[in-house]
Each structure stands twice: as C-alpha cells, then as structure tokens.
C-alpha cells in the first residue's frame, strides 16, 4: 500500500523531471556546463582505468565539476546498477561499459539507463552507433598470429582451416563461458550461416552438411572448432604470450585483441592481425556510453559523454587521447584511424549486431557448454 503510494508520488515527480531531461538532451555543452557547475560532481563507472586520464582532462576543461571515476568490469557495473536501483539508490551518472547485449537486456530494456546522443555529434555517427545504444568506440576480437613465424602473412585465410587436423590443439581463445566478448564472437559467427556455408564451400569444394541438431553453418563451425581441440585459457595475457612470443616454434593462432599489438615491442611479441580471412576474421564490438536512470547530476552526465567524444581535430584532442589506441576504432567520423593499423573499412571483421546477438547469445552459450 505504502509502496504503491510511494511509486505514484515518484511517478508524479518524474513528469517534470522528464520534461527537464528532454531539455537537457538538446542543450549545448556550454549550457550543460552552467547546470553542471551547480551539480558539482559526476560519477562515472568505467570498464577502462583510462577514466583516470579522462578525469584529469575533464576537470581541466570544466573547472568546478568534479569527475569521480570508478573502475568496474562490465559484469560488475551491471550487478551494481541493478542492485542499487532496486534499493532505490541512484548514485551513478554515467556508465562506460561493454557487454552491449547484456546491457541491452538488463539495463536499457528495464529503463535503468537511457541513451543520450550529444547534439553536436548527431550527424557524425552512423545510425547503428546511435541507437539503441550510443557507441563510443569499437574494440576487436579477431584472429591473431605470429608474424615472425609467418613472415609471408597469416597462415589462416579461411576460418574453416581452423577445423583442420593440422590446427588441432593450436587454436586458442579465452573461455567464452567466462568472458562475454568471446561469447559474442561465436554468436556473431552463428548469425552468419550463409557466409560460413560459402566459406566452407570455398575451402573444401563441397556443400556443408549441418548436423541435424544445429542451425546453420555457423553453429557447425563452432562445434567443429571445439572438437578440433580448441585450447581455452583464462585471460588474454596467457593468450598473447602463447601466440606472440618471438622465436617460438610452431606457435598457435588465437582470437584476441588487435590493439594488444601495441605491446609487441615492449613484451617481445610478434602479434599481428590475420585480416585476409574468409568470411571474416572476427568481430568489432562496442564500448557504450549511457546516462543512468535518475542520475543525480543529469547535466554533468551529458557533459561527460559529450566530452569523451573529443574535439573536432583528427585525433580527437586531449579528451579522446586516452582511447586513441592503434587497433581500436573511434565511431566518430572526424577522428582518423591510426596510420599503422588496418583502416576500419578494410578490417574484415563483423561489427556485432547487438540486438541479434542479445537474442541468440544464451542459445550459443548452451551449445558451447555441451561442447566443453
């Protein structure tokens, strides 16, 4: 009884708040800053510890607004926001988060977060990066190989080669039942049955026969990959060492992160992306920026999101600098890709379809569990 009353009161209180939020959505950064100065602090949950550098740059650009950055993995951000909002606590303003399929289901659908697109960026982002979620940049899970052991380029030119006996026990990935991005990778592969079937034909010359309990060539690939003694590891450190170590004899290949190549020199690795792979070498997946529901500092929250997309210069300026990493890709068109990396349009990776992946992810997870 008391609860319904409270809910009704809250709903009533929300009406003007919503109107105000709409105003906020159309305000310029300068107008947001005026309100943000009154709000004083803004709390950001971030999947990346680079938030510390954003904090510094933000507070220099907007004195008087204190950015509180908290490093939290995506799974923990979701757990914490859900628990907090269920307890009626609204303490966080901005989420910088990956695991988009889970974000879609557990945060956006129940209204725990909302998508805010800064007005100045509306025509600088592709439609798929503005809705349902605002995408800040794209990271990769793509096939990586050892360029010292294979000076003539990638030993793999077709994903189906990974299921051949000669690659048995020599393909690695971080366990997809432990890390969402790898599950997203396999789900995205399953969502391209036609391309996978065509690639099969290109590799083996015959049409693929899909097991009766599976849907399409993508799922068949997942099964064959696991049956070919796919090696699972706990973290990407192990993976990079295994694939990239220089002077290694017969090193394996792995689905890893393209931007880890930047550590090659320092770590003594020879990691390189296998780009010329049929039908694709992996996925691009989004890092998302969103405003939390009933954010205590709604104006400052929007200001932070606006800020993190950087200025109009080709490298995005100091605000985007922490994220300008070779092998990661800005969604904002004015920001140029790193000259030493494969340009985004030439990278043969599928950009994940967040909604479709969200829908099929659990089924693929079940398939993988039976294969382990």
Between residues 50 and 348, which has the closer beta carbon with respect to another protein? 50
Window contacting another protein (CB under 8 A); options: 19-27, 108-116, 190-198, 249-257:
249-257
Closest approach, Cβ 120 to another protein, in A, equals 29
Q: Do 163 and 221 meet the contact criterion of CB atoms below 8 Å apart?
A: yes
Q: Does 13 bind another protein (CB under 8 A)?
A: no
48: nearest Cα among 361, 281, 328: 328
Q: Which tokens go with 169?
A: 């026990």
Of these, 25, 31, 106, 355, which contacts another protein (CB under 8 A)?
106
Q: Does 227 bind another protein (CB under 8 A)?
A: no
Query: In which residue are the tokens 């309990």 written?
Result: 213
Q: Rule CB under 8 A: which of 42-71 touch another protein? A: 43, 48-50, 52, 68, 70-71
364: nearest Cα among 203, 154, 202, 223: 223
* Binding-site size, another protein (CB under 8 A): 67
**Distances 323 to 169, 200, 210, 288, 291 between C-alpha atoms, Å:** 35, 37, 42, 13, 20
Between residues 183 and 295, which has the closer beta carbon with respect to another protein? 183
Query: In which residue are the tokens 């879609």 written?
Result: 104
What is the distance between the alpha carbons of residues 145 and 148, in angstroms, rounded to a whole number? 9
Of these, 242, 284, 335, 357, which contacts another protein (CB under 8 A)?
242
Q: Which tokens go with 174?
A: 């971080």
Residue ranges with strand state E in 126-230: 134-146, 171-174
x/- letters, 168..197, toward another protein (CB under 8 A): -xx-x--xxxxxx--x--------------
Task: Map residue 130 onto helix, strand or coil.
Answer: coil
Between residues 118 and 251, which has the closer beta carbon with respect to another protein? 251
User: At residue 65, what are phi and psi to the nearest 5 degrees?
Assistant: -115, 120
x/- letters, 141..160, toward another protein (CB under 8 A): -----x--x-----------
What is the distance between the alpha carbons of residues 192 and 171, in angstroms, rounded to a whole number? 21
Of these, 28, 131, 276, 372, which contacts another protein (CB under 8 A)?
372
Sign of CA dihedral 161, 163, 167, 172: positive
Of these, 243, 290, 308, 357, which contacts another protein (CB under 8 A)?
243
Between residues 121 and 367, which has the closer beta carbon with respect to another protein? 367
Between residues 164 and 231, which has the closer beta carbon with respect to another protein? 231
Sign of CA dihedral 155, 159, 160, 162: positive
Of these, 29, 82, 344, 356, which contacts another protein (CB under 8 A)?
82
**Distances 165 to 90, 160, 230 between C-alpha atoms, Å:** 54, 11, 11
Radius of gyration of the chain (CA): 22
Query: In which residue are the tokens 């065509």 written?
Result: 198
Between residues 32 and 174, which has the closer beta carbon with respect to another protein? 174
Q: Does 248 bind another protein (CB under 8 A)?
A: yes
Of these, 29, 61, 91, 356, which contacts another protein (CB under 8 A)?
91
Between residues 238 and 315, which has the closer beta carbon with respect to another protein? 238
Of these, 31, 238, 311, 315, which contacts another protein (CB under 8 A)?
238
Q: Give the burial string for 216-241 (b: 16+ CB within 10 Å, else e).
A: bbbbbbbbbbbebebebbeebeebbe
Between residues 10 and 52, which has the closer beta carbon with respect to another protein? 52
- Binding residues (CB under 8 A) for another protein: these are 43, 48-50, 52, 68, 70-72, 75-76, 78-80, 82-84, 86-89, 91, 99, 101-102, 105-106, 146, 149, 169-170, 172, 175-180, 183, 231-235, 237-238, 241-245, 248-249, 251-252, 260, 263, 266-268, 361-362, 365-366, 369-370, 372
């Amino acid at each position: 009884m008391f609860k319904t009353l409270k809910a009704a009161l809250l709903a009533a209180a929300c009406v003007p708040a919503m109107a105000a939020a709409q105003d906020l959505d159309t305000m310029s950064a300068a107008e947001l800053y005026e309100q943000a100065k009154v709000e004083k602090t803004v709390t950001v949950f971030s999947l990346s510890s680079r938030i510390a550098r954003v904090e510094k740059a933000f507070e220099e650009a907007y004195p008087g607004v204190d950015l509180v950055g908290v490093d939290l993995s995506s799974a923990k951000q979701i757990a914490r926001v859900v628990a907090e909002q269920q307890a009626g606590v609204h303490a966080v303003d901005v989420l910088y988060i990956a695991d988009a399929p889970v974000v879609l289901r557990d945060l956006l659908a129940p209204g725990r977060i909302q998508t805010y697109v800064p007005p100045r960026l509306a025509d600088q982002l592709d439609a798929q990066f503005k809705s349902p979620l605002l995408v800040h940049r794209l990271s990769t899970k793509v096939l990586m190989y050892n360029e010292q052991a294979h000076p003539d380029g990638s030993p793999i030119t077709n994903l189906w080669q990974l299921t051949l006996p000669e690659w048995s026990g020599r393909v690695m990935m971080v366990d997809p039942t432990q890390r969402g991005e790898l599950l997203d990778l396999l789900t995205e592969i399953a969502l391209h049955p036609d391309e996978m079937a065509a690639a099969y034909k290109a590799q083996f010359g015959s049409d693929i026969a899909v097991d009766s309990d599976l849907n399409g060539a993508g799922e068949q690939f997942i099964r064959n990959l696991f049956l070919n003694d796919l090696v699972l590891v706990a973290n990407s450190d192990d993976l990079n060492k295994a694939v990239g170590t220089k002077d290694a004899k017969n090193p394996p290949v792995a689905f890893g992160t393209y931007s880890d190549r930047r550590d090659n020199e320092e770590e003594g690795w020879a990691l390189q992306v296998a780009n010329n792979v049929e039908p694709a070498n992996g996925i691009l997946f989004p890092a998302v920026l969103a405003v939390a529901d009933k954010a205590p500092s709604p104006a400052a929250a929007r200001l932070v999101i606006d800020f993190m997309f950087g200025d109009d210069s080709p490298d995005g300026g100091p605000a985007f600098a922490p994220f300008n990493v070779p092998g990661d890709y800005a969604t904002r068109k004015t920001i140029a890709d790193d000259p030493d990396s494969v340009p985004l349009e030439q990278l043969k990776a599928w950009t994940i379809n967040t909604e479709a992946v969200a829908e099929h992810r659990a089924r693929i997870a079940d398939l993988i569990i039976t294969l382990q």
